[in-house]
Amino acid sequence: RLHLHRKRSEVKQPFAQVLGVSLLKPLKGVDPNLISNLETFFTLDYPKQYEILLCVQDQDDPAVDVCKKLLGKYPNVDAGLFIGKKVGINPKINNLMPGYEAAKYGLVWICDSGIRKPDTLTDLTNQMTEKVGLVHGLPYVADRQGFAATLEQVYFGTSHPRSYISANVTGIKCVTGMSCLMRKDVLDQAGGLVAFAQYIAEDYFMAKAIADGWKFSMATQVALQNSGSYSIGQFQSRMIWTKLRINMVPATVLEPVSECFLASLIIGWAAHHVLQGGALSFSKLDFAVAWFIRESMSVQIFLSALWDPTISWRTGRYRLRCGGTAEEILDV
């Protein structure tokens, strides 16, 4: 909380502010929020030079018409439309290659189509100091209607940032490719974008390449996702990326142990075999319901303790004082 959402005046203005930025936008298809999301980048509040490189998969992609509409609406913005070409198995890299090759500035910002936020670029460059090679944003989700939107916000506001922020605090280089500002010369030394076209998780391997000699920094502004197409099914499909993490980082198989329900089951099993010394006197269903009720009551119990400092013990009533002393409440 101390790091995120800081005002610009609270962040030092490093040397990277003098560099221009090439914004690479990979696009495929159209959703209800695409044009409004893209438009926030045509109106960026950024004091230096930047260009917008709109990258679509092919000429027949419906996103082409959206791009042309914005290019016509903002003729004074340095922007262009690029058609992808196949250089490997990764469709995002295939999409971005022509735009990357045309990029003219020293910093490249790869930012997914569903991201919006007009002041993000200034914040990203504020973090790009002399020893930093990559700046990334913590993914979060904009307010939208429906339970599926709530599910995404809950995930990106609880489980995901728990591991993401913990990794960055402890020095583990954990990056998602939704919004990343990188040094183009460092990427070029690693072979350019084409060197990562053989991987599906290009963001992981780009970060791995940049990590050799460079530090990472997390932006103070979140990477705000605002896709206009979302559902519980689509959310579940996004979570399939766990397959990639298992293949790249085998220790990922331990991830479920950190989740609430599985951790509770393990603790319950341990309590049964280590502490109980015998069979439980209630069913597993009773245990689950009792656990859920107890967890649900914890906040109410805590607030009640703060609000009312009196306790009843045996036949008396007492008012607690700071430090652990108490006085008896006598009935008048």
Q: Choose the catalytic residue: 61, 112, 123, 203.
A: 203
Strand partners, 319: 310, 327
112 noted as active-site residue = no
**125 CB contacts (<8 Å, ≥6 apart)?**
14, 16, 17, 19, 21, 46, 48, 107, 135, 181
Contact 187, 210 (CB under 8 A): yes
| Residues 123, 222: Cα–Cα separation, whole Å | 10
Strand partners, 22: 51, 108
**7 CB contacts (<8 Å, ≥6 apart)?**
none
Cα dist. 248→156, 159, 252, 254 in Å? 22, 20, 9, 14
Catalytic residue ranges:
203
